[in-house]
């Protein structure tokens, strides 16, 4: 069956995703984004005929009058307001007064959160100046991202002052350049005023209202703006740092985290009003762009980030695809923040965030339980804090939780904590990446050394075989003794090559592939005799088995341990004189188990050389035995293979030098 060719979006998924996002943005900007309709604002002082006494009485039946007076501990007044929801968003000021008289207004404490609706909300509160000296007061309306805020000051003599505010009208009727929509009032002593506010927005409705003295308000704003600037500055610096680090290390996860921080910068610049405070007369769409992108962006930038952090592609591939598709869809819909349809996007995104949060936490928990890794635990803590803050924010904005000072501060606090914890996690990840990179480089260098050593180890027996073949070819009629000697040498070198290949295939050169022995109980004398016989008559005759009488048994893997002893015996025979005997001594261990010692008659090793013996990539031609045995230079691979096998059995290999010469290598098996 022919192999199916990958589709274009499978070959370059990010290119297709960016193309779809760009196309959707062009369509939205071309068809849906329109500037708000400019309504004429009558700033002249005009009178509303009649009904003032009835209006005052209706308001006072709902909420108490606010007496503006300086207090020992100066703080703003946050009164209870009379409230009415205009679902058509078309009611005029006169119609709102009629609804008040008809009993449609209800008491409402602020802040007031009503979710994402396309309706208008009316508020009214009675105010009276009772302070003798303080005549200038401010009515402060929030949140700063509200699109359309209109304020009417209805004075006792029937005069009306109308002001148009909101982030769509920042260049028109803006009395005070501040983060909030602020109205200044000059009140006469004992003057009573009704403050009417109409608020409408295409995003999430969260209405705040306070009355404050100018001195206290601006002093507070200086401190608040400084703290917000520091907080947003830290986020922006982190965003830039991680973006540059992502480019430097070519790490996509760091890039997604910098994108997540960028959405938080947009969120706090737009929602806190810092943007409209910094820009003198911003266009109508600028704050919507920041607040809108920042509201829905973090959910989905974080979703893609978590897919990578938790390696969901390998462990939860369906969830990973779901999060990526959601991120793509909402990225395509981000420009809807500049249209009246944005409230639908907000509602869907918040509901999806509330639903998907438990899934993310479950994946983080599973990842930590599966790997028990400190980095995964840090991820879990970061995700838990952000998800809790996000759920509280979404629930309060949708009206599922009361909107108060506590619920409004949970999300910023959770965001700050999440950012700090993720900074620790990213630092741990960068450190781990650098460590892994260094380890990979060391492994690559070690692999090259290993190949060089293996080549060197193969070269000696191959050269010996070649010499024997050349001598046989040079002799016209070799005698039986000459023929037997050369054939025995060839067989010996072939056996050395076979032992080396078996060791390489069994142990290898990668510490990540551990040896797993399959131990069985063997009769030691019978097993050792079979091992010596398998060496052949010439080499086997030079091995002398020494062990006590009796039935000595051992618990080991016969195949692996045969390979270990073959390596030791091969080395011992190679470094001993041609007529020398190698002793193979087996005995029971005092604490249980057995000891098997291989004792040769070679030149031996110094203490410093024995300390380096068996290092995986230590060249054996630096050892005394390699230097003193002509044609027998080695790399120490045989000893290394033996040690790996014995340690896999839970035992140990101990070399000891003999005097005046010789080397004893003891294998202890529990």
Does residue 554 contact residue 593 with C-beta atoms inside 8 Å?
A: yes
585-596 average pLDDT score: 85
Instruction: Flag whether 401 is in a domain.
Output: yes
Tell me what the pLDDT averaged over the chain comes to. 80
Within a domain: 471: no
Residues 276, 194 share a domain? no
Closest CA to 307 of 260, 354, 351, 345: 260
- Domain membership of residue 66 as a residue range: 46-212
pLDDT at 11: 43
- The answer to which of 84-93, 118-127, 212-221, 588-597 has the lowest mean pLDDT is 588-597
Evaluate whether 134 touches 213 at the Cβ level (below 8 Å): yes
In a domain, 108, yes or no: yes
pLDDT at 301: 78
**Cis, peptide link before residue 427, omega less than 30° from 0:** no
Domain stop point among 421, 438, 455: 438
Residue 81 lies in a domain: yes
Q: Decide if pLDDT at 550 tops 70.
A: yes
The more confidently predicted of residues 347 and 168 is: 168
d(CA 386, CA 195): 38
pLDDT of res. 38: 57
The pLDDT tens digits of the residues spanning 46-84 come to 555 557 888 999 999 999 999 998 876 678 999 999 999
DSSP letter, residue 659? S
Position 10 scores a pLDDT of: 41
CB 174 within 8 A of CB 165: yes
Task: Say what the pLDDT of residue 619 is.
Answer: 44
Q: Which of 42-46, 78-82, 280-284, 537-541 has the lowest mean pLDDT?
A: 42-46
Task: Say whether both 313 and 415 belong to one domain.
Answer: yes
Task: Say how far apart CA 617 and CA 635 lie, in whole Å.
Answer: 8
Same domain? For 190 and 316 the reply is no
Do 533 and 418 lie in one domain? The reply is no
Give me the half-sphere count of Cα atoms (radius 13 Å) on the Cβ side of residue 648: 21
Write down the pLDDT at residue 293.
87
168 and 288 in a common domain: no
In whole angstroms, give the CA distance from residue 179 to residue 167: 10
- CATH number of the CATH domain containing 104: 2.60.40.2380
- 452 part of a folded domain: no
pLDDT at 618 over 60: no
How much is the average pLDDT of 20-32?
Answer: 83
> For residue 574, what is the domain's CATH number?
3.30.565.10
Is 443's pLDDT higher than 80?
Answer: no
- 200 and 296 inside one domain: no
Do residues 276 and 207 both lie within one domain?
no
pLDDT at 471 over 80: no
**pLDDT for 512 beyond 60:** no
Residue 149 has pLDDT above 90, yes or no: yes
344 and 197 housed in the same domain:
no
Which of the two residues, 74 and 423, has the higher pLDDT score?
423
Judging by beta carbons within 10 Å of its beta carbon (0-12, 13-18, 19+), is residue 527 exposed, middle or buried? Answer: middle
Let me know if residue 641 belongs to a domain. yes
End-of-domain residue from the set 386, 405, 438: 438
In a domain, 430, yes or no: yes
- 156, 59: one domain: yes
pTM for the complete prediction?
0.67
603 contacts: CB under 8 Å, gap ≥ 6: 575, 624, 625, 628, 629, 661
Query: Do the beta carbons of residue 139 and residue 7 sit within 8 Å?
Result: no
For residues 128 and 427, the model is more confident at 128
Residue 171's nearest CA partner among 38, 338, 43 is: 38
Mean pLDDT confidence for 19-44: 72
- Average pLDDT for 598-611: 79
**Helical packing angle, 13-31 and 317-332, nearest 10°:** 30
Is there a single domain that holds both residue 417 and residue 524?
A: no
- Given 385, 417, 438, which residue is the final one in a domain? 438
Q: 277 and 173 in one domain?
A: no
| 330 belongs to a structural domain | yes
CB-CB contact of 100 with 106 (8 Å)? no
Q: What are phi and psi of 279, to 5 degrees?
A: -100, 130
156 and 303 part of one domain: no
Nearest Cα residue to 535 out of 508, 557, 506, 567: 567
* Band of residue 535 on the pLDDT scale cut at 50, 70, 90: confident
Task: Give percent helix, percent strand, percent coil of the chain, each to the nearest 5.
Answer: 55, 15, 30
pLDDT tens-digit series, residues 320-347: 888 888 888 888 888 888 888 888 888 7
Structural domains of the chain, count: 3
């Amino acid at each position: 069956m022919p192999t199916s060719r990958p589709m274009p979006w499978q070959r370059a998924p990010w290119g297709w995703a960016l193309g779809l996002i760009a196309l959707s943005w062009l369509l939205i900007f071309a068809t849906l984004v329109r500037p708000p309709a400019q309504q004429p604002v009558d700033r002249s002082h005009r009178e509303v005929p009649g009904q003032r006494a009835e209006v005052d009485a209706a308001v006072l039946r709902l909420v108490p009058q606010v007496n503006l007076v300086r207090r020992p501990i100066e703080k703003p007044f946050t009164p209870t307001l009379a409230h009415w929801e205009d679902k058509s968003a078309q009611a005029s000021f006169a119609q709102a007064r009629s609804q008040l008289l008809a009993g449609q207004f209800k008491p409402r404490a602020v802040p007031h959160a009503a979710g994402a609706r396309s309706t208008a909300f009316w508020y009214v509160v009675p105010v009276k100046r009772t302070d003798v000296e303080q005549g200038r007061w401010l009515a402060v309306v929030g949140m700063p991202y509200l699109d359309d805020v209109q304020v009417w000051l209805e004075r006792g003599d029937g005069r009306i002052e109308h002001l148009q505010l909101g982030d769509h009208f920042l260049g028109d009727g803006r009395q005070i350049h501040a983060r909030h929509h602020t109205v200044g009032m000059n009140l006469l002593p004992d003057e009573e005023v009704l403050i009417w506010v109409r608020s409408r927005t295409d995003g999430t409705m969260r209405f705040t209202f306070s009355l404050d003295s100018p001195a206290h308000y601006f002093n507070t704003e200086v401190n608040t703006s400084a703290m917000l600037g520091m907080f947003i500055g830290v986020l922006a610096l982190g965003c830039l740092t991680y973006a540059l680090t992502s480019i430097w290390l070519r790490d996509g996860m760091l890039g997604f985290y910098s994108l997540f921080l960028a959405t938080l910068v947009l969120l706090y610049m737009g929602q806190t009003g810092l943007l409209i405070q910094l820009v003198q007369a911003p266009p109508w769409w600028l704050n919507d762009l920041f607040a809108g992108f920042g509201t829905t962006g973090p959910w989905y930038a974080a979703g893609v980030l978590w897919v990578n952090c938790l390696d969901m592609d390998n462990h939860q591939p369906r969830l990973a695809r779901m999060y990526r598709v959601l991120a793509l869809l909402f990225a395509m819909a981000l420009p809807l923040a500049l249209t009246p349809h944005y409230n639908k996007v907000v509602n869907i995104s918040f509901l999806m965030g509330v639903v998907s949060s438990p899934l993310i936490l479950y994946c983080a928990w599973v990842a930590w339980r599966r790997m028990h890794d400190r980095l995964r635990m840090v991820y879990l803590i970061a995700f838990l804090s952000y998800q809790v803050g996000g759920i509280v924010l979404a629930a309060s904005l949708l009206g599922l939780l009361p909107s108060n000072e506590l619920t409004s501060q949970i999300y910023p606090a959770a965001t700050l904590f999440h950012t700090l914890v993720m900074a620790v996690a990213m630092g741990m990840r960068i450190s781990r990446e650098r460590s892994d990179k260094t380890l990979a480089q060391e492994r690559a260098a070690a692999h090259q050394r290993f190949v060089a050593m293996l080549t060197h180890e193969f070269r000696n027996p191959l050269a010996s075989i070649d010499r024997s073949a050349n001598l046989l070819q040079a002799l016209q009629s070799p005698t039986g003794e000459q023929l037997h000697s050369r054939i025995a040498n060839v067989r010996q070198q072939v056996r050395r090559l076979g032992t080396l290949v078996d060791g390489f295939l069994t142990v290898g050169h990668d510490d990540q592939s551990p040896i797993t022995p399959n131990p069985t109980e063997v009769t030691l004398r019978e097993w050792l005799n079979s091992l010596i016989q398998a060496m052949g008559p010439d080499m086997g005759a030079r091995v002398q088995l020494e062990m006590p009488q009796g039935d000595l048994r051992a618990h080991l893997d016969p195949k692996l341990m045969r390979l270990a002893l073959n390596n030791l015996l091969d080395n011992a025979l190679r470094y001993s004189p041609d007529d020398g005997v190698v002793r193979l001594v087996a005995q029971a261990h005092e604490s249980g188990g057995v000891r098997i010692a291989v004792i040769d008659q070679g030149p031996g090793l110094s203490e410093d050389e024995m300390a380096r013996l068996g290092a995986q990539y230590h060249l054996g031609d630096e050892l005394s035995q390699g230097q003193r045995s002509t044609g027998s230079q080695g790399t120490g691979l045989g000893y290394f293979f033996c040690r790996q096998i014995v340690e896999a059995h839970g035992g140990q290999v101990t070399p000891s030098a003999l005097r005046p010469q010789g080397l004893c290598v003891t294998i202890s098996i529990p």
